[in-house]
Structure 1
Amino acid sequence: MEWILIVFGILLVTFPVVWVKQSPRQKKIANLRKIARESGLFVRRCRRPDAREDERKLTSVCYEMPCSYKELDMKFCLQRISERGEPSAWNTWRWAGQKPSKKWTEVIQYLTTSSSEDVKALTARPGFIGLILDEKNISEGLTFYVEILSNSKKIVDRDLE
């Protein structure tokens, strides 16, 4: 009788561990984030780029590359998730918040023309330039986005320093 209780106790403890496996989609996203970190990108949770001031949920994921330019004028977000925000010079993209100065035009032009439909927003903050991606539907490999961010970093570090 005691051994039945012991076996039942062990099953009760081990069953949830076996039951809580990652789904294939979760494995894919975890692998993407791991590859990004290994490629030198920072991966952070963030608010939707088109979020209102009172919306605080961290529902998006931003893949950022550090750069040496750290001035305060490096703060903007260009999104194509919704119709919120002011229209921009780039088709289907809208400003979410502040607009940058004209010196950012080359970087933004490169990012908007190089990125695929998986890119939902372009962000910049002092010391970082990033992309908010639709992780569920990434069609390109992550190396494609690492290359885009690396080239953007070169433009920022070369032209804005």
Structure 2
Amino acid sequence: MEWILIVFGILLVAFPVVWVKQSPTQKKIANLRKIARESGLLVRRCRRPDAREDERKLTSVCYEMPCAYKELDMTFCLQRVSERGEPSAWNTWRWAGKKPNTKWTEVIHYLTTSSSKDVKALIVRPGFIGLILDEKNVSQGLTFYVEILSNSKKIVDRDLA
């Protein structure tokens, strides 16, 4: 009888954990990341785009596309998560950290005007162009973002590489 109570207690505790792991939201996010990997995107955990230097938590997910241009001037972040950072020329977007030189204007303009409200930040680092998405509320299909990143890669590879 005691064993039955112990097993029942363990099941009572373990069942909600298993259920949360397989919730519809978790399944949607896992499927989104799987499609991204199959489409040639790199999916990686990253800090919030507006994070301060001392904030180290990896709370965001960045969907990145590799590109040929790998210079150090390729490190910047444009975000619309919060009011942190300097205002940019693009409405509702703010610079998190340093600004790029003007040769990036065409790419940034394309990304900021083409993306929907699901895009929380544009992150560019040597060899990669990425978007941080609000994964729980993605309204467009992932192919929409793959196309945006592919077109951005073409602009970068054509004009900058």
Fold similarity call, TM over 0.5: yes
Which string of whole-angstrom CA distances, capped at 9 and with x for unpartnered residues, describes residues 92-148 of structure 1? 100000100000000000000000000000010000000000001000000000000
Distance 1:159 1:13, change over 3 A: same
Cα gap change, 1:99/1:21 in structure 2, threshold over 3 Å: closer, same or farther?
Answer: closer
Change (3 A) 1:22 1:96: same
Identity %: 90
Shift of 1:3: 11
Higher Cα radius of gyration:
1
Deviation at 1:54, TM superposition (A): 1.1
Superposition deviation, residue 34 in structure 1: 0.2
Q: Which residue of structure 2 aligns with residue 98 of structure 1?
A: 98
Taking structure 1 as reference, are residues 5 and 121 closer, same or farther at Cα in structure 2, changes over 3 Å only?
closer
Q: TM-score, normalised by structure 1?
A: 0.89
Post-superposition Cα deviations, 1:39-67, rounded to whole Å, max 9, x if no partner, equal 00000000000011111110100000000
Any unmatched runs of 5+ in structure 2?
Answer: none
Q: Could you say what secondary structure the match of 2:73 adopts?
A: coil
Is there any run of 5+ residues in structure 1 with no aligned partner, and where? none
Q: 1:55 to 1:157 in 2, by over 3 A?
A: same
Pick closer, same or farther for the CA change 1:30–1:72 going to 2, 3 Å: same
Residue-pair matches, total: 161
2:59 and 2:4 mapped to 1: Cα distance? Answer: 46
